[in-house]
Amino acid sequence: MRTHPDTKVWNISANQPGASPDAVSLLGHELATLSRHFGVLPVVSVGNVSPSGTTRPEPPADCEAAIVVGGRQANASGGPAGPCPNCLGGPGPDGMLKPDVSWFSELQMIGGVTDTGSSYPTTLVSSLAAHTFANLRNPTPDLVKALLVSASELDEHHPQLGWGTPYQGTMPWTCAPGTVALTWTAQLQPGTAYYWTGIPIPPEMIHNGKLLGRARWGCPDRC
């Protein structure tokens, strides 16, 4: 990361088996420290089902700063469908909502052999995250992560699919027709009340004097 400062997305398709499911691993903590220090976004595979019997995300998929990717199957028309039975699911330690997103986990290899694993959707999300960085005016890792989560199709977090697949016909760095994304940056202190004024809100988002829309938590899981 020090020698490649222009690289903002780091794909990590490798997992460490045998870690405690109830505590963030040393590897997860260290990766979070590195990502915050260098301002990068790790994109991490959730891990694969193995004879060890592990059912929870394997490190560093417990990294709060990372966007963790699960696997999903395709339906008859080629669209995203249900969870991949070969990929692990959440939650992470202390109820951490992992994985964050999911994508196709089955890949046809050279020679026509088909393989399945969480490494394959991780590379898809890494590419999309890199394009999102390139298309934003002032990108940050947390903003890119939030946009990918917001672009996913599920309204509730699924223990294996996360928030879904971050593509519904509109790229994460653009707004779908009839929608607007509100983002802001702030430093928060515990026990303090915060008020934001002067935010230009379209009248279509106001109903009976209240804000009408949906929100997703784009901050790291352990804020």
Phi, psi angle pair for 95, to nearest 5°: 75, 10
56 neighbors 91 (Cβ within 8 angstroms): yes
∠ CA 217-136-211, nearest 5°, is 40
Query: How many other β-carbons are positioned within 10 Å of the β-carbon of residue 197?
Result: 4
Q: Which residue has the higher pLDDT, 108 or 61?
A: 61
Query: pLDDT value at position 214?
Result: 67
84 neighbors 47 (Cβ within 8 angstroms): no
Query: pLDDT value at position 112?
Result: 84
CA atoms of 107 and 110, how far apart (whole Å): 10
Pairing mode, strands 206-207 and 210-211: antiparallel
Query: pLDDT value at position 221?
Result: 43
CATH superfamily of the domain spanning 9-211: Peptidase S8/S53 domain (3.40.50.200)
153-174 tens-digit pLDDT: 998 999 999 999 998 888 999 9
169-208 tens-digit pLDDT: 889 999 888 777 777 777 778 888 877 777 777 787 788 8
Query: pLDDT value at position 213?
Result: 72
Instruction: Give the closest residue to 46 by CA, choosing from 198, 162, 163, 144.
Output: 162
The upper half-sphere exposure of residue 16, i.e. CA atoms within 13 Å in the direction of its Cβ, equals 13
Residue 86, both tokens = 């070969």
Q: Would you say residue 107 has pLDDT above 80?
A: yes
Q: Would you say residue 99 has pLDDT above 60?
A: yes
Amino acid letter for position 92: G
Query: pLDDT value at position 145?
Result: 95
CA atoms of 216 and 44, how far apart (whole Å): 21
Residue 109's pLDDT band, with cuts at 50, 70 and 90, is: confident
pTM: 0.83
19-77 tens-digit pLDDT: 787 889 999 999 999 999 999 999 999 999 987 778 899 999 999 999 999 999 999 99
CA atoms of 38 and 32, how far apart (whole Å): 10
Rounded to an integer, the average pLDDT of 75-101 is: 93
Q: What are the boundaries of each domain within the chain?
A: 9-211
